């Protein structure tokens, strides 16, 4: 009974303190939409981060339309929020609305993607370094195969998309100078599981039933999950006969690691809001101006990094 009262009192105290902090900062977040699992995870992590910091988050889903984002930002300005987070759906056309925010002295933080426009229109941008993601994946392969010859097949993202170009570039930079590692085939799997599987089936047939392939590098985990199924269908063991390395860190790739079928993934963290809130808090407190580009960590995960725990941690995030 006493204990209950104590818990209740503590709860009230916590509620009071968090509401006091919430009065501190109200942040508007204009999200692109929910076109991918990663995007959905970014939304839920942003909400979590706001809650733990006691920030009052106003969330607006733009359903892939820039006009909705501009409307949402104007709405945030009219409500007099303390800061605005934007994940811009396209790179151009932001000058007017961000100038309005600037005139209203509301700091803007870009999440995950950049814009073409004057840098003084936003406080900072938080994004990952996609070239580095590819480089980390390539570096892992270089360290793993050492001097042994290794023929790699590559599953590219959508042709011409920025992550596909950058992740390809980073991987090639990492394996440059290691003549034992060569990319023998490279095709697009459109970032999807089913195309990843179909393309891998083709590669396996074309390379002596897969016996000539040492590793597959996929620009995202979904394609890797598809490739893993294709390798199994061909009677080979993914993770052993053919090494599997990919990028993103979605729950299903950790499930594959638990089963010993994937070897490494480079995390594209959905927690872009955490660094953004830190920068905003410092800026509000004593006017500390953060660097213009905050780069999130591209962390490598292998089966040694508790894949089961990582899977459990991520599966509720909406990936």
Partner 1 sequence: MNRMALRNVVNTQTVALVGVLLLNWVLFPGFFRIEWQDGRLFGSLIDVLNRGAPVAILAIGMTPVIATKGVDLSVGAVMAMAGAVAASLVVAGYPAWIAVSGALALGLACGIWNGILVALLDIQPIIATLVLMVAGRGIAQLVTEGSIVTFSDPTLVFIGTGSFLGFPMPVVIAFALMVLVTLAVRKTAIGLFIEAVGVNRSAATLAGIRSRLLLIVVYSISGLCAATAGIIVAGDIRGADANNAGLWLELDAILAAVIGGASLLGGRFSIPMSVVGALIIQAMNTGILVSGFPPEFNLVVKAGMITLILMIQSPLAGHILGWFGRGKRGAA
Task: Name which of residues 39 to 68 contact partner 1 (CB under 8 A).
Answer: 39-40
Find the binding residues for partner 1 in span 250-309 (CB under 8 A): 252, 255
Q: Applying CB under 8 A, which of residues 42, 133, 222, 310 lies at the interface with partner 1?
A: 222
Smallest gap, in angstroms, from Cβ of residue 243 to partner 1? 21
Are the beta carbons of 123 and 109 closer than 8 angstroms? yes
255 CB-near residues (< 8 Å, 6+ apart): 307, 311
Neighbours of 269 (CB within 10 A): 19
Regarding 96 and contact with partner 1 (CB under 8 A), the answer is no
Which residue, 39 or 74, is less far from partner 1 as judged by CB? 39
CB 220 within 8 A of CB 253: no
Alpha helices in the chain (DSSP H): 2-24, 37-52, 66-79, 95-103, 130-145, 162-175, 193-206, 221-233, 251-258, 273-286, 307-315
The verdict on 310 binding partner 1 (CB under 8 A) reads no
The size of the interface with partner 1 (CB under 8 A), counted in residues, is 38
Hey, which bits of 32-117 come out as E strands? 56-61, 83-86, 108-111
6-14, 47-55, 120-128, 221-229 -> range binding partner 1 (CB under 8 A): 221-229
**Cα 204 to Cα 108: distance, rounded to the nearest angstrom:** 48
CA 298 to chain centre: 9
Regarding 99 and contact with partner 1 (CB under 8 A), the answer is no
| Under rule CB under 8 A, residue 129 binds partner 1 | no
Length of the chain: 319
Q: Which is nearer to partner 1, 149 or 235 (CB)?
A: 235
| φ, ψ (nearest 5 deg) of residue 61 | -95, 125
Using CB under 8 A, which of 42, 190, 248, 267 touches partner 1?
A: 190
Rounded distance, CA 180 to CA 237, Å?
Answer: 22
User: Is 151 an interacting residue with respect to partner 1 (CB under 8 A)?
Assistant: no
Name the minimum Å distance from CB 195 to partner 1.
Answer: 8
To 10 degrees, what angle do helices 162-175 and 130-145 make? 30
- Among positions 235, 237, 295, 313, the unique one binding partner 1 when judged by CB under 8 A: 235
**Pair 178, 150: CB distance under 8 Å:** no
| Binding of residue 112 to partner 1 (CB under 8 A) | no
Contact range with partner 1 by CB under 8 A, out of 137-145, 211-219, 220-228, 269-277: 220-228
Site for partner 1, rule CB under 8 A: 34-37, 39-40, 156, 159-160, 185-188, 190, 192-195, 197-199, 201-203, 205-206, 209, 222, 225-226, 229, 233-235, 252, 255, 318-319
């Amino acid at each position: 009974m006493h204990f209950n009262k104590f818990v209740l009192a503590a709860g009230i105290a916590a509620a009071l303190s968090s509401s006091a902090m919430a009065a501190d900062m109200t942040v508007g977040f204009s999200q692109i939409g929910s076109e991918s699992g990663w995007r959905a995870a970014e939304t839920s992590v942003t909400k979590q981060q706001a809650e733990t910091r006691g920030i009052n988050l106003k969330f607006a889903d733009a359903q892939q339309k820039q006009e909705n984002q501009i409307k949402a930002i104007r709405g945030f300005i009219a409500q007099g929020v303390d800061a605005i987070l934007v994940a811009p759906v396209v790179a151009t056309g932001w000058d007017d609305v961000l100038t309005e925010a600037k005139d209203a002295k509301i700091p803007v933080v870009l999440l995950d993607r950049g814009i073409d426009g004057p840098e003084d229109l936003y406080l900072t941008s938080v994004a990952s370094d996609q070239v580095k993601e590819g480089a980390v994946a390539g570096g892992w392969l270089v360290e793993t195969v050492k001097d042994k010859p290794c023929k790699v097949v590559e599953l590219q993202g959508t042709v011409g998309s920025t992550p596909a170009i950058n992740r390809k570039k980073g991987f090639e930079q990492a394996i440059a100078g290691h003549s034992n590692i060569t990319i023998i085939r490279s095709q697009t799997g459109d970032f999807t599981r089913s195309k990843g599987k179909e393309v891998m089936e083709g590669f396996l047939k074309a390379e002596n039933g897969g016996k000539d392939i040492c590793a597959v590098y996929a620009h995202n985990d979904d394609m890797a999950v598809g490739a893993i199924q294709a390798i199994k269908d061909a009677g080979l063991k993914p993770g052993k006969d053919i090494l599997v390395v990919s990028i993103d860190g979605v729950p299903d790739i950790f499930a594959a690691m638990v089963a010993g079928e994937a070897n490494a993934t480079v995390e594209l963290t959905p927690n872009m809001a955490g660094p953004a809130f830190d920068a905003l808090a410092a800026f509000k407190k004593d006017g500390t101006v953060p660097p213009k580009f905050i780069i999130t960590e591209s962390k490598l995960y292998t089966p040694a990094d508790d894949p089961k725990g990582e899977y459990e941690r991520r599966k509720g995030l909406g990936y």
